[in-house]
Amino acid sequence: MITTISLNPSIDRTVEVERFVQGGLNRVVDAHSVAAGKGINVALAASALGVDAECIGFMYREGARLFEKRLMLNATAYNFVWCEGSVRTNIKVRDRERGEITEINEPGARVGEADLDKMTELVALHAENTDCLVLSGSMPPGCPKDYYRTLLRTVDGLGCRCILDADGERLALGLEAHPYLIKPNRFELETMLGRELRSLADIRDAARTCIDRGASVVAVSLGADGAMIVDGDEALYAPRMAVDVKSTVGAGDTMVAGFACGIIGDSTLEEMLRMGVAAATARCATDVSRVVDRALYSDLLGRVAIERI
């Protein structure tokens, strides 16, 4: 079982314009809304890849139905700490001509101490019956920056391996609780370590710094340049796979789902990298109306090229 934590769910509202004009009039040519948030996305992707998955997190009375419907339609279990207020809306403006996306994200509704206590208890309860716990995404107002560290320490010794996909201070503090795997992108890794990473060797060495600071495995997503995975013994790199890209939205979360599938199957480091890259690539090549094409994922698994760095 894979259990994901969604502390700050969002309704992602995508609007498309022919050419975005900053400070001017923009006419929408297409629009759609979807229940999202990193924890939601990872759980949905894991389910689509054929693994039992569930999502726990904060949920708000206004807007919740969209999430319950999407999770049920995709056979993904859920359990929420219910809060007053409404789910935040994140707006993505897609410029068709340039192929660019401008994002405008709301912070989310505030949670209180009682909500945090309930969430900590819920996470501990589910951690006892899961193989892999995924902590990912932003936090709502009211969440302390060290809350991921708190949750990681809460589940320590309960038998599940944890993935932390966060940025900034949330990632740095979370590392102190020794997650099994972290998944920064290049920019997040550069920001945390305070230096530019110009080569694959630089990225490998930076990842090993994170291992020295508490992680067992570091997977670095490099966007169009592929991905790298590093543990105490090996550093493996997979270049980008050539596919017909339909949407990159959710690719990083689907990569995390692939890694989680590898963890619960006790896969080797190379197998985990193949699963993460194949999952993310399949997401990019899948129509936006679906989570991820499982058959395409299976086909891509054997085509991921691996290099040792």
Residue linked to tokens 């409404």 = 86
Q: Which residues are 230's β-sheet partners? A: 218, 235
For residue 247, is pLDDT > 90?
no
- pLDDT by residue (tens digit) across 174-189? 999 999 999 999 999 9
pTM of the model: 0.94
Query: What is the average per-residue pLDDT within 83-106?
Result: 92
Overall number of domains in the chain:
1
- Residue 283: which CATH number? 3.40.1190.20
- The parent domain of residue 65 ranges over 2-308
For position 73, what pLDDT does the model report?
94
Q: Which residues are catalytic?
A: 253
For residue 285, is pLDDT > 90?
no
For position 197, what pLDDT does the model report?
93
- Nearest-angstrom CA–CA distance, 224 and 226: 6
Instruction: Count CB atoms within 10 A of the CB of residue 239.
Output: 15
For position 143, what pLDDT does the model report?
96
The residues, any chain, with a CB within 8 Å of residue 157's CB and separated by 6 or more, are none
The residues, any chain, with a CB within 8 Å of residue 64's CB and separated by 6 or more, are 80, 82, 87
- pLDDT by residue (tens digit) across 191-213? 988 899 999 999 999 999 999 99
Full 3-state SS string of the chain = CEEEEECCCEEEEEEEECCCCCCCCCCCCEEEEEEECHHHHHHHHHHHCCCCEEEEEEEEEECHHHHHHHHHHCCCEEEEEEEEEECEEEEEEEECCCCEEEEEECCCCCCCHHHHHHHHHHHHHHHCCCCEEEEECCCCCCCCCCHHHHHHHHHCCCCCEEEEECCHHHHHHHHCCCCCEECCEHHHHHHHHCCCCCCHHHHHHHHHHHHHCCCCEEEEECHHHCEEEECCCCEEEECCCCCCCCCCCCHHHHHHHHHHHHHHCCCCHHHHHHHHHHHHHHHHCCCCCCCCCHHHHHHHHCCCCCEEC
